[in-house]
Amino acid sequence: MEKELWKPGNMLYPLPAVMVSCAEEGRYNIITVAWTGTVCTNPPMLSVSVRPERFSYGMIARTGEFVVNLTTEKLTRACDYCGVKSGRDVDKFREAGLTAVPAAFVKAPLIAQSPVNIECRVKDIIKLGSHDMFLAEVLGVHVDREYMDEAGKFDLGRAKPVVYSHGEYYGLGELAGSFGYSVKKSGNRKKR
């Protein structure tokens, strides 16, 4: 296997493509973020990294609140739009055809069309260079019942989430395994 050596860069792809909603003084905005992830189980925490010059950055920094809204194949166009247009210039909810609904714990709205909405409160802002990381505690998670299976489990396959890689959006393929399946006894090696 022959490898090429590239300059240092972020090659940890694919990443979830999420829409982060925020609000300040009754004005709503959405920013598309791919640099996001889980950082802690107890307390539940996640991070989003945003460039300081982005319009949403100031809203999140000043209010200390935001909502992470997962995207689906149906939401790919809206997700892209919210990543290339500035909230300084347009109402992204209106222009992208998205519906803002009240959250339970923060003033930032949920995106109704998203299958999962994660309400967050900023605990720390870590200045990193081109981006600052908002380290946030998860206050509540909203899951659309449309994507729940008969056992009450969120069915990721039914939701058809989107990931981002090198400027492109991709749907996810088939289930490849489940946690612990590699060590289960041979008669119990179900993929789900």
Residue 5 domain-assigned? no
Residue 9 domain-assigned? no
Domain count, the chain: 1
Q: What is the largest CA-CA distance in the chain?
A: 59
Average pLDDT, the chain: 93
Q: How far is CA 175 from the centre of its chain?
A: 20
pLDDT digits (tens, 9 = 90+) for 38-64: 999 999 999 999 999 999 999 999 999
Going by pLDDT thresholds of 50, 70 and 90, the confidence category of residue 170 is very high
Q: Provide the strand spans (E) within the chain.
A: 15-16, 18-24, 27-33, 36-40, 45-50, 65-70, 100-101, 110-111, 116-127, 132-143, 162-165, 168-171
Q: Provide the strand spans (E) within 8-71.
A: 15-16, 18-24, 27-33, 36-40, 45-50, 65-70
Tokens 């909810």: give the residue: 93
pLDDT at 13 exceeding the cut of 90: no
pLDDT at 186 exceeding the cut of 80: no
What mean pLDDT do residues 118-123 have? Answer: 98
Q: What is the pLDDT of residue 191?
A: 54
Amino acid at position 135, single letter:
L
Residue 8 domain-assigned? no
CATH at residue 121: 2.30.110.10
pLDDT digits (tens, 9 = 90+) for 138-147: 999 999 999 9
Residue 162 domain-assigned? yes
DSSP state of 79: H
Residue 1 domain-assigned? no
Residue 7 domain-assigned? no
Residue 65 domain-assigned? yes
Q: What is the pLDDT of residue 190?
A: 53
Which of 46-55, 102-111, 153-162 shows the lowest mean pLDDT across its residues?
A: 153-162
Question: Which domain, by its residues, includes 178?
Answer: 15-188
Alpha carbon distances (Å) from 91 to 26, 85, 97: 12, 9, 10
What mean pLDDT do residues 174-182 have? Answer: 83
